[in-house]
Amino acid sequence: MELDEKKYLYLFIIIPILVLIYFYNLYWKRKKQREFGDLDLVQQLAPNRSSFKPVLKLVVVLLGLTCLIIGLVNPKIGTKMETVKREGIDIVFAMDVSKSMLAEDVAPNRLEKSKQIVSQIINQLGSDRIGIVAYAGSAFPVLPITSDYSVAKMFLQNMNPGIVSSQGTSLDEAIKLSATYFDEKSKTSKLLILLSDGEDHSEGAEIAAEEANKIGMKIITIGLGTEKGGTIPLKENGVVKSFQRDNNNEVVITKLNQDGLKAIAKATKGGYVYGNSTKEVLDYVKNALDNIQKTEFEATQMAEFQSQFQWFLGFAFFLLLLDVFLLERKTSWIIDLNLFNEKK
């Protein structure tokens, strides 16, 4: 069971308040009756007044208010199956998480910039399905193809160089792993958006792109960094302690390799865009998506909780209406039954 509007649960405080008011009012009436005269004689003055009906009316009102509050809370019980059809494409984001992506020649750094770009791209998607791959010296599957964008963003924010054990920038491994996300026999358009600084220390990236092209996969590459390059800060608790050094103890300067990224995109008749300006990247990707043919996905069964508020509201109004017709005097036909042998 799921409660849609939990804030209305606070209204249940009305129930004990009404009970207290009722008993206080009953106490006050009895007190006044004793002041007026003998209690038995006072009751004889109103022989048709029922002692049970007021309690019944209270119970009916309390049940009515309880149902009304439950209706406002809108409980959802069970599931309702709906068939949903979507049109779109399959997109895989391959994100470079090597240490070179920590360079701050692009603010705040290359990796955080790439996260911002991917998050903004996801925001402008419609019914497309997405997946995420992380890579450095090797590639690692982060999220399989899904239409759940919120989950994708959650995984996206947790990406860092520590999730891949081997360092480097193996673009060919990223392309090969991304290709496995797609169904080769499916007619759904396939797009890989690869984000990197292009410092590829492995061979065969262009060959991997050509193989990907054979299964109908297009690649858009996004370059992060500058050609001038930058150092790789090593931080502890957000404070820079040193900089990455090579085997000769020289500070490493990592530079953007646009030519390699352009060659990969060209092999699949895709495109390359420089990632320094998020707006330019978004405009470029949006234009590319508009020109890619969208196909209808297979019907998907969506399970949803079914609202039950109408039953509670209906019963609440019935009880509150019933209370209007309940009088506090005794019911004549029950008196005629003489169940307790009161008539002599």
Structure confidence by residue, pLDDT tens digits, 7-54: 888 888 988 998 898 888 888 877 776 766 565 655 555 555 566 677
The kind and range of the H/E element at 209 are helix 205-214
Q: Tell me how far apart the alpha carbons of residues 191 and 237 are, in angstroms, rounded to a whole number.
A: 37
Domain ranges (residues) in the chain: 2-80+306-337, 87-296
292 pLDDT band, cuts 50/70/90, is: confident
What's the pLDDT tens digit per position in 222-238? 999 998 999 888 877 77
pLDDT of residue 44: 56
The kind and range of the H/E element at 77 are strand 75-84
pLDDT of residue 337: 47
pLDDT > 50? residue 76: yes
pLDDT of residue 335: 47
Q: Which class would CATH give 87-296? A: alpha beta
pLDDT > 90? residue 94: yes
How many angstroms separate the most distant Cα atoms in the chain? 117
pLDDT of residue 114: 95
Q: Tell me how far apart the alpha carbons of residues 277 and 257 are, in angstroms, rounded to a whole number.
A: 17
End-to-end CA distance of the chain: 56
Average pLDDT over every residue of 179-191: 87
Collapsed DSSP state (helix, strand, coil) of residue 302: strand
pLDDT of residue 298: 56
Question: At 138, which amino acid appears?
Answer: S
